A and B are shown apart, each in its own frame.
Chain A
Amino acid sequence: MESEVSAMELTTAIAHVQRMLLDAPAATAAVARLAEVARELIPMATGAGVTLVDEHGQPRTTAATDPAVEALDRLQYELGQGPCLTAWDTVSMQRVDDTAEDTRWPEWAKAAVATGLGSVLSTPLVFRGQEVGAIKVYASGPHAFTEHEEHLLELLAGAAATLLGAAQDPGEIHRLSTSLKFALADRQVVLIAVGILMERHQIDREAAHRLLLAETRRREMPVIVLAACVAGHADDPRL
């Protein structure tokens, strides 16, 4: 029985890893809990929402503690304006102390007032320099949030981003498996070249590998490129 890592095994292994990561229902559950925590954690908060985005910045997974929050979030995307969008664009915390007097996002603020939400705090979730989403809290009255609440939300966002950011995009799985396959393919080319050199010069594996390395240094080319030439016969430099 062979113990080669075959293409078939790789595919199933990747599927296995995929199950370890956040699938859609798990992602939804995670952000829902996160939103609940945010609402309970931040004093004065009456509602909270979390949005995870895909690589194009489009919302992929969202959760909100109540319909009002959900509606106001959606409205921002429809209007193309709002504190969360600005938080996203500027990668910084945005705070609205009184929706009735805000001039930055006038249309959205009007809707917020009508819905009965007076204060907003919104900050992006950043993982490894990439924005993976945003978290926001609302309060019914104005001037509900201070630096203290900002700090708390920042801490929560930091922890959440780190943990969430790692386990996301289905596209990542594809990129991962592609990367894996390419790495194995590159390695294979190197080893074939090593075999060729072993036979050609009647030397052992280590000597052949060192020869390859020495030649790449001498010719100032990448190892894999030279190995491909050796293994491909075409452009064979006859090392």
Chain B
Amino acid sequence: MPVADEATIARVQACGLATVLEAAGVELDGLWLQYFRLGGDLGVMEVEAYLHHALVLPALQRDLLACACNELAEGHPRRAPYAADCSPAGEAGAG
């Protein structure tokens, strides 16, 4: 069974994240701040690069970003996906 590679999963997560950020009106700086509070390690530039698919982040950092986004976008119907949501065995993270 083919396993999606890290880069692909990262891309899917980044796409989902960007979509929710835009839809919920969350800005990059606000996302980073929340991510920082949750224990995220990386700087704003790295996060921005990830959103633009110029950088693949480790799974934990991607999930922290997803979590940060979802907490900020509380009440919004769409959710940013976690790595576990993006494996081919499971369903792609949705609502």
Q: Which residues of chain A have a CB within 8 Å of any CB of chain B? A: 183, 186-187, 190-191, 194, 206, 209-210, 213, 216-217, 222-224
| B82 close to chain A: CB less than 8 A | yes
CB <8 Å contact, A224 and B64: no
Chain B, residues 36-65, CB within 8 Å of chain A (1/0): the string is: 111100000000000000000000100110
Q: How many residue-residue contacts, CB under 8 A, span A and B? A: 33
**Among the listed B33, B38, B60, B63, which residue makes an inter-chain contact with A190, where contact means beta carbons less than 8 Å apart?**
B38
Interface size, chain B (Cβ < 8 Å): 11
CB <8 Å contact, B39 and A194: yes
With a cutoff of 8 Å between Cβ atoms, the chain B residues found around residue A210 in the complex are 60, 63
CB <8 Å contact, B82 and A217: yes
Within 8 A of A (CB), among B3-55: 33, 36-39
**Among the listed A183, A194, A213, which residue makes an inter-chain contact with B36, where contact means beta carbons less than 8 Å apart?**
A183
Q: Which residues of chain B have a CB within 8 Å of any CB of chain A? A: 33, 36-39, 60, 63-64, 67, 71, 82
Task: Please name 27 pairs of A and B residues whose Cβ atoms are closer than 8 Å in the assembled complex, sorted by A.
Answer: A183-B33, A183-B37, A186-B37, A186-B38, A187-B36, A187-B37, A187-B38, A187-B39, A190-B38, A190-B39, A191-B39, A206-B60, A209-B39, A209-B60, A210-B60, A210-B63, A213-B63, A213-B64, A213-B67, A213-B82, A217-B67, A217-B82, A222-B71, A223-B38, A223-B67, A223-B71, A224-B37
Residue of A nearest to B74 (CB): A222
Residue of B nearest to A216 (CB): B67
With a cutoff of 8 Å between Cβ atoms, the chain B residues found around residue A216 in the complex are 67
Q: How far is the CA of A95 from the CA of B71 in the complex (A)?
A: 46
With a cutoff of 8 Å between Cβ atoms, the chain B residues found around residue A194 in the complex are 39
Q: A194-B39, A213-B82, A223-B67 are in contact. List 7 more A-B contacts (CB 8 A).
A: A183-B33, A187-B39, A191-B39, A209-B39, A210-B63, A223-B71, A224-B38
CB <8 Å contact, A190 and B37: yes
Q: How far is the CA of A31 from the CA of B36 in the complex (A)?
A: 37
Q: How far is the CA of A79 from the CA of B71 in the complex (A)?
A: 48
